[in-house]
Amino acid sequence: MAAARPTARSKDIVLERRKIEALIAEGRKVIIVEGKVLKVDAWLPYHPGGDKAILHMVGRDATNEVKAFHSAETQQMMLRYQIGKVDGQWIDYLPPIQGGKFRQDNGEPAQSNTPAAESDDESTLTESSQESSPLFEPAHGSTMRRRFGSSSALSESSSTSVESLALDGSEEKVIPKSAADERTQRELQHDLETFPKLDSATQGRIIQLYQQLDQRLRDEGLYDCNYKAYAREIARYTALAIVSLFCLRQGWYVASATFLGALWHQLVFTVHDAGHMGITHDFQTDSLIGIFVANWIGGLSCCWWKRNHNVHHIVTNSAEHDPDIQHMPFFAITHRFFDGLTSSYYDRVMTFDAVAKVTLKYQHYLYYPILALGRFNLYALSWQYILLGQGPRKGPAAWHRWLELAGQIFFWYWFGYLVVYKSIPTNGERFAFVMISHAVTMLVHVQITLSHFAMSTADLGVKESFPQRMLRTTMDVQCPEWLDFFHGGLQFQAVHHLFPRMPRHNLRAAQKHVMQFCDEVGIPYTVYGFVEGNGKVIGRLSEIAQQARILAECQRSMTVQDVFESH
């Protein structure tokens, strides 16, 4: 029997916190948006961005995330799932997917759905909830500490998870869950000293000014797509395709492969805009653009990318939850990966196994070679997403799966059969063509990892506001304006994470406003040149590689000692 649709009267009912907790304990997916309580269970199989993005918002005030990622029409549609409202300021819970526990109506604890839950004691059940950030009260901001090429700015990036106590509004005490880990404590302390305090007044002021900034950027027209810029983009794409085809006809296979790889590299930027509805701002139109470009021309699933990318935007640089930094056994950007973390996105344990013990020791050397092969991994993930039906099977995005499947077949026909097999005479030249064209696309993988690999991986808890987390975990890349086409807007990742639906051609104009915002609220704004930023990433990978080498040596020594003692 279908569930009864909430009536206008029922939507006005004030729900007690205890009632909402009990609903979540029963497995209901409840989020708070602008004081409204939404039970979105029925929307999970329909959500074009995937269910994981919603699960990370359960029990939390999702106002800022919802506004950042959804159109006004979608936000209005969400109201059909409203079951009541809350009275006063909402205090966030830790979502079940992140290890939060909740009590049922009878007072019995309901187990978390992830291994991250620590215990069943009363403190865990009641104090896993934490003050939400959007409390609009004025507070004095700290002095600005901008990171322009500072050598010490990223030297102590954090990689831990914390709990905030003292929910009565007093000064909170933040403690690491692994108190015995000296490195974790040191890295955590660095973030706590560098960024604004986590009290509700400070974070509330950040939210208030962030929302004012968002409205100011809208008023200035920076959410409007620059279609003249896209006309230049299309001209560039067409030129690359024509030159690649001409070289192929002439038998200049290396040149043809290079220009084809450059075309794929440039097209990713358009897919990125379309996936965020940053071109026409219409869901179906932008989805069609993204699917056509990604699948039919590039052989990659746009819908897989959206599912992955939305989670990345919500839990940026979280070792346990962000799929964009979960690359075991090839890369680890925090020592916590050595402990066998469980990925909530992939639903598996990322083990420090025999392969990882070898590869991680040399990850700073393998960084560029592995990224040169990254597109092959994206092919596999795309086919897995489509064939296993990991996307929505109902609702407005259900048919996208079949359009993507058709696009994949078309891509492998024109690229695999017509270009590689029919147009290139020898297997050796075919192999070289494929490898060169794919290696050129490494540049986009470098750009994506550059913005996050050297940044903080700390989870400061649900008390941290959305804009602070985005700026704490994301780096911008400085480049001259004439080179923007090369980076495709991805060099403004910090700005993009604050305003994901803003068209990329407007991000440079928005950057100066973000800098002013950072000055006002006291959040360091991190920006490096492309070469220096790469150095920071390699430095981070080298540091973790050294730790992996030491750990592997210790484990081998202990094994040898156990063998001798047993004899």
Residue pLDDT, tens place only, 264-283: 999 999 999 999 999 999 99
Dihedral of CA atoms 191, 194, 199, 203 in degrees, nearest 10, equals: -100
| The pLDDT of residue 137 is above 90 | no
Contact 470, 513 (CB under 8 A): no
Better-scored residue on pLDDT, 239 or 171? 239
Instruction: Give the domain-ending residue among 56, 74, 98.
Output: 98
Lowest mean pLDDT among 184-188, 208-212, 323-327, 455-459: 184-188
Residue 9: the pLDDT is 65
Q: Are residues 200 and 83 in the same domain?
A: no
pLDDT category, 108, cuts 50, 70, 90?
low
Contact 160, 459 (CB under 8 A): yes
| The pLDDT of residue 173 is above 70 | no
Q: Are residues 196 and 89 in the same domain?
A: no
Better-scored residue on pLDDT, 412 or 88? 412
| The pLDDT of residue 149 is above 60 | no
Residue that has been written with the tokens 């690229």 in this structure: 415
pLDDT category, 544, cuts 50, 70, 90?
very high
181 occurs within a structural domain: no
| The pLDDT of residue 71 is above 70 | yes
| The pLDDT of residue 121 is above 60 | no
| pLDDT, average across residues 240-263 | 97
Q: H or E segment at 20?
A: helix 17-25
Residue 561: the pLDDT is 57
Q: What is the mean pLDDT of the chain?
A: 85
pLDDT category, 11, cuts 50, 70, 90?
confident
Q: Are residues 90 and 210 in the same domain?
A: no
| The pLDDT of residue 133 is above 50 | no
Q: Are residues 293 and 397 in the same domain?
A: yes
| pLDDT, average across residues 176-203 | 78
Write the CA distances from 182 to 90, 158, 190, 216, 335, integer angstroms: 34, 12, 12, 44, 12
Distance (Å, whole) CA 359 – CA 350 = 14
- Cβ neighbourhood burial of 369 (10 Å; 0-12, 13-18, 19+): exposed
Q: Are residues 78 and 207 in the same domain?
A: no
Contact 175, 106 (CB under 8 A): no
354-382 confidence digits (pLDDT tens): 999 999 999 999 999 999 999 999 999 99
pLDDT category, 72, cuts 50, 70, 90?
confident
Amino acid at 365: Y
Instruction: Residue 73: give its domain's CATH number.
Output: 3.10.120.10
Residue 567: the pLDDT is 55
Contact 371, 258 (CB under 8 A): no
Q: Are residues 373 and 484 in the same domain?
A: yes
Q: Determine the structural domain holding residue 90 and report its residue range.
A: 9-98
The residues facing 164 across adjacent strands are: 174
Q: Are residues 195 and 74 in the same domain?
A: no
Distance (Å, whole) CA 130 – CA 92 = 5
Q: At 91, give phi and psi (nearest 5°).
A: -105, 120
Residue 159: the pLDDT is 41
120 occurs within a structural domain: no
Distance (Å, whole) CA 312 – CA 248 = 38
pLDDT category, 150, cuts 50, 70, 90?
very low
Dihedral of CA atoms 6, 10, 16, 21 in degrees, nearest 10, equals: -10
259 occurs within a structural domain: yes
Residue 558: the pLDDT is 66
pLDDT category, 172, cuts 50, 70, 90?
very low
Write the CA distances from 157 to 65, 382, 464, 469, integer angstroms: 24, 32, 16, 13
496-522 confidence digits (pLDDT tens): 999 999 999 999 999 999 999 999 999
Q: Are residues 85 and 196 in the same domain?
A: no
Residue 5: the pLDDT is 59
Q: Are residues 86 and 199 in the same domain?
A: no
Is the backbone of residue 395 left (phi > 0), alpha (psi -120 to 50) or beta? Answer: left
412-468 confidence digits (pLDDT tens): 999 999 999 999 999 999 999 999 999 999 999 998 899 999 999 988 888 999 999
DSSP assignments along 370-387, one per residue: HHHTHHHHHHHHHHHHHH
Instruction: Give the domain-ending residue among 44, 69, 98.
Output: 98
Q: What percentage of the chain has pLDDT greater than the value 90?
A: 70
Secondary structure letter of residue 464 according to DSSP: S
| Number of separate domains in the chain | 2
Residue 303: the pLDDT is 95
DSSP assignments along 528-544, one per residue: EEHHHHHHHHHHHHHHH
Number of H helices, E strands in the chain: 24, 14
Secondary structure letter of residue 71 according to DSSP: -
Q: Are residues 221 and 74 in the same domain?
A: no
Distance (Å, whole) CA 272 – CA 503 = 10
| The pLDDT of residue 339 is above 50 | yes
Residues 6+ apart with CB under 8 A from 297: 264, 267, 411
Q: H or E segment at 254?
A: helix 253-275
Secondary structure letter of residue 23 according to DSSP: H
563 occurs within a structural domain: no
What SS3 state is found at 355?
helix
| pLDDT, average across residues 115-133 | 36
Q: Are residues 493 and 345 in the same domain?
A: yes
Distance of CA 43 to the CA centre of its chain: 21
Q: SS3 for 105-146, per residue?
A: CCCCEECCCCCCCCCCCHHHHHHCCEECCCCCCCCCCCCCCC
Q: Are residues 358 and 481 in the same domain?
A: yes
| pLDDT, average across residues 5-22 | 81
Residues 6+ apart with CB under 8 A from 324: 308, 309, 312, 448, 452
166 occurs within a structural domain: no
Please state whether the peptide bond connecting residue 329 to the residue before it is cis, i.e. omega within 30 degrees of 0: yes
The residues facing 147 across adjacent strands are: 526
Which residue blocks in 321-441 are alpha helix, DSSP H?
354-359, 363-372, 374-387, 400-411, 422-423, 427-440
Closest to 96 (Cα-Cα) out of 62, 57, 138: 57
Output the pTM of the full model: 0.85
